[in-house]
């Protein structure tokens, strides 16, 4: 699968977003011990979408051949001396439908679901 670049606000992944990253040099997804995935991609600095690859944007990629595509939020971009860009992305709470989970806060949790304070024993 060719990785696909999406805007920071994308939630549906039904289009090609900003565009396919067909000219990427490498794209490797590794599974961490906790079952989450991390993406590392090398992309040419003169590539078609090089200027649009920014921190916060999303790369949709498959962790393995038989797996469903997963969204990865770009959190780090480096450009070594050879001029190629290296992007790192973390999987963000992807559900089975490929959409990212909403961020939880005390505003969107019902009172009965908020954790109870447990006094610390000394």
* Cβ atoms 98, 58 nearer than 8 A: no
Q: What is the mean predicted confidence (pLDDT) over 91-112? A: 45
User: Hey, how many other C-beta atoms are within 10 angstroms of the C-beta on 65?
Assistant: 6
Distant-in-sequence, close-in-space partners of 12: CB < 8 Å, separation ≥ 6: 99
Residue 70 pLDDT exceeds 60: yes
pLDDT digits (tens, 9 = 90+) for 13-36: 999 999 999 999 999 999 888 888
State both tokens at 97: 């439908």
């Amino acid at each position: 699968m060719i990785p696909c670049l999406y805007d920071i606000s994308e939630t549906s992944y039904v289009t090609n977003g900003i565009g396919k990253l067909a000219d990427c040099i490498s794209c490797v997804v590794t599974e961490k011990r906790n079952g989450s995935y991390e993406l590392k991609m090398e992309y040419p600095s003169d590539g078609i979408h090089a200027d649009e690859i920014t921190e916060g944007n999303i790369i949709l990629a498959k962790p393995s051949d038989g797996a469903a595509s997963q969204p990865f939020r770009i959190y780090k971009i480096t450009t070594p001396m050879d001029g190629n860009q290296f992007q790192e992305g973390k999987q963000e709470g992807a559900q089975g439908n490929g959409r990212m989970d909403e961020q939880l806060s005390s505003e969107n949790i019902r009172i009965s679901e908020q954790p109870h304070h447990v006094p610390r024993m000394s």
